[in-house]
Chains A and B, each alone.
Chain A
Amino acid sequence: MSDYGIRIEGLRKRYGKGDTAVDALKDVNMQVAPGEVVGLIGPSGSGKSTLLKSLGAVIEPSAGRMVLGEQVIYDDGWKVRDLRALRRDKIGFVFQAPYLIPFLDVTDNVALLPMLAGVANAQARARALELLTALDVQHRARAMPSQLSGGEQQRVAIARGLVNRPPVILADEPTAPLDSVRAMAVIRILNDMARTYETAIIVVTHDEKIIPTFKRIYHIRDGVTHEEAGEGRAFA
């Protein structure tokens, strides 16, 4: 296992050309170790979304270097060829809303990713069930997403993010619609999972309730990240 789940150095992103060009990201540097959960905080227009998309390998940065685990993703204009497979195998996503696929049951929602990667159905389902068990939603394994509560859905979403054992998980406002108790529960799960599966987790949030839980926080302002220590408060 490498030292870093994800390492970003001097990432820049410019939209447009010439006079109208806008630099959304100017200088982003981040390092997250496996098992670590960091916060990413920034006001609107700070470049947070662009950073998230870049981290999520949806848009390509203009310059800089990004390494996932041991795989270099971007390096000053060079990029991995199959971003789609990369997203599938190396990045887990957890969104503000769970965004589960409504026509697949809980197990298949989770098992879909390994299946897309070519894992046999039974095996993928076994892996999914393992994660669902770890997240304590195995009893809803055959339910449809619409039958689950918000917290359960979010846990399934987390399971889906973890199922391919990615080195990094991007969690985009995972607690926004939840009350503080449930929000804390989610954060605890994320911490547990980060430890258990040795995954680096970046939580993009502006939820005051959970900011104090991070040990390390990256602030982004005008496309530049600043690292600072968080309170690292234990969660209730």
Chain B
Amino acid sequence: MISLAGRDILHAWGKFAFTGVGLGLLIGVTLSMAGVYRGMVDDGKALLDNSGADLWVVQQDTLGPYAESSSLADDAYRGILTMPGVAAAANVTYLTMQVRKGERDVRAMVVGIAPALRGVAPGWPPYLVAGRQITRSHYEAVADVSSGFALGDRLAIRRSQYTVVGLTRRMVSSSGDPMVFIPLKDAQEAQFLKDNDAIWQSRRRSEANPSFNRPGVPGLFDAVIASQSSNASVNAVLVTLKPGQAPDVVAESIRRWKRLTVYTRAQMEGILVGKLIATSSRQIGMFLVILAIVSATIVAFIIYSLTMDKIREIAVLKLIGTRNRTIAAMIMQQAVALGLIGFAVGKISATFAVPIFPKYVLLTPLDALAGLFVVLVICVLASLVSIRMALKVDPAEAIGG
């Protein structure tokens, strides 16, 4: 027996190929959309992975430092270091802001990383793609490649110029902004010292305030200014644990004795995925459902019109004794073949489209498999209408009826 579906496809392969490519692009969009969601989740996880922490210590009763702002004294880490089970604790600041380079500015998450005593500390970029880690305690930066900065670039963050000495990859905030790592002290200053105008104004306000600027107390005003223009806060303390320590136990003891809020990795992931990108993910889920419906409709329509084009042939086939099963198989095989072509084109186009997206898009093999399964199910379901039509064709129609 020859494959009727195969022969038909071969005969009308141009039409079939174009239809397949069209469907494929639609599937590509669907896969990319799923990839966008995965990318968002992965951005969140990358943020956590890259921080290299087991625990996040933040301001009491906040969801900081990513989902909410949090502020801690920068010497709080000393106390945390003394807690049993804690191996390392490092201050870190996060501030999303515009980073300028010449005329251009890039929205970035500026991460202030504590100086490392030996090698790399929690919060440091865990791997680089070019350049080196920060060695000076001021005015050096490691930027993510997605920011478009290159080694040796001079960046302006607030009032200071930073030299890019290293580049990372996939170091992004939960909203996909590239990270720029700078030394903690600079970051604290950047977080607090807005700009020169603001400093001048605040200085003038203090100067006008008689209780700060008393004629009888020389030096008071200077002290006030000094205290105003320094910042002793950080956003979080990243904690790593000694081997074999249960994160929950250590977290509980810090919570209890240090009166700070502590999140474990699992909780942090819950906050990021559950709270930060929950709405976006629902949005994308909605899109996926719509795209699936559109795809199904299109496949159904294509198969239906392909079948309707062949209705006379089907009548002839039935008249000359072709079994219903054979005809149904022909239509279903065509639908599945269309689905497979579409999937292949979609997968390929989605993969090649990934680098074009401004934000990270992650295509996982599991998603692709699920997509393939869904496409096939949709194709089979969509072909059912056509099969029903074909089976209702009266073979007598072939006889001049």
Which of A's residues lie within 8 Å of B, judged by CB? 49, 52-53, 56, 58-59, 84-89, 93, 95-96, 99, 101-104, 108, 112-113, 115-118, 121, 144, 160, 170, 172-173
Contact = CB atoms under 8 A, between A and B. Distances in A.
Interface in B1-32: 1-2, 4, 7-8, 10-12
B400 A93 contact: no
Contacts of B10: 103
A108 B400 contact: no
A95 B397 CA distance: 11
Given A58-B399, A84-B322, 11 more contacts: A58-B319, A95-B316, A99-B398, A103-B12, A112-B320, A113-B320, A115-B2, A116-B323, A117-B321, A118-B1, A170-B399
Contacts of A172: 399-400
A54 B289 CA distance: 50
Contacts of A96: 400
Contacts, number: 84
Given A108-B7, A116-B1, A88 B320 contact: yes
B396 A58 contact: yes
Contacts of A112: 2, 320
Contacts of A86: 321
- 9 A-B pairs closest in CB distance: A88-B321, A103-B11, A103-B8, A58-B396, A87-B321, A99-B316, A103-B7, A53-B396, A115-B1
A116 B322 contact: yes
Interface string B310-353: 00110011111111001000000000000000000000000000
A56 B399 contact: yes
B399 A53 contact: yes
Contacts of A116: 1, 320-323, 326
Given A59-B396, A95-B400, A121-B2, A104 B7 contact: yes
A104 B3 CA distance: 10
B401 interface: yes
Contacts of A89: 321
B395 interface: yes
Contacts of B316: 95, 99, 101
Interface of B: 1-2, 4, 7-8, 10-12, 312-313, 316-323, 326, 394-396, 398-401
A101 B58 CA distance: 75
Nearest to B8: A103
A95 B323 contact: no
Contacts of B318: 84
B315 to A, nearest CB: 8
Contacts of B399: 49, 52-53, 56, 58, 93, 95, 170, 172
Nearest to B323: A84
Given A103-B7, A108-B7, A121-B2, A53 B401 contact: yes
Contact of B321 (A85, A104, A170, A173): A85
Contact of B401 (A49, A117, A170): A49
6 contacts: A86-B321, A87-B395, A93-B320, A103-B8, A104-B4, A115-B2
Contacts of B396: 53, 56, 58-59
Contacts of B401: 49, 53
Given A84-B321, A85-B321, A115-B2, A102 B400 contact: no
Contacts of A87: 319-321, 395
A58 B4 CA distance: 23
Nearest to A98: B316
A173 B396 CA distance: 15
A211 to B, nearest CB: 18
Contacts of B312: 99
A225 B261 CA distance: 101
Contacts of B400: 49, 52, 95-96, 172-173
B17 to A, nearest CB: 15
A89 B323 CA distance: 13
A146 to B, nearest CB: 9
Contact of B398 (A95, A104, A108): A95
A88 B317 CA distance: 10
A96 B1 CA distance: 27
B40 to A, nearest CB: 46
B305 to A, nearest CB: 16
A173 B401 CA distance: 12
Contacts of B12: 103
B308 to A, nearest CB: 14
Nearest to A48: B400
A108 B8 CA distance: 12
Nearest to A111: B2
A103 B11 CA distance: 5
Contacts of A99: 312-313, 316, 398
A40 to B, nearest CB: 13
Given A58-B319, A84-B323, A88-B320, A102 B11 contact: yes
A58 B321 contact: no
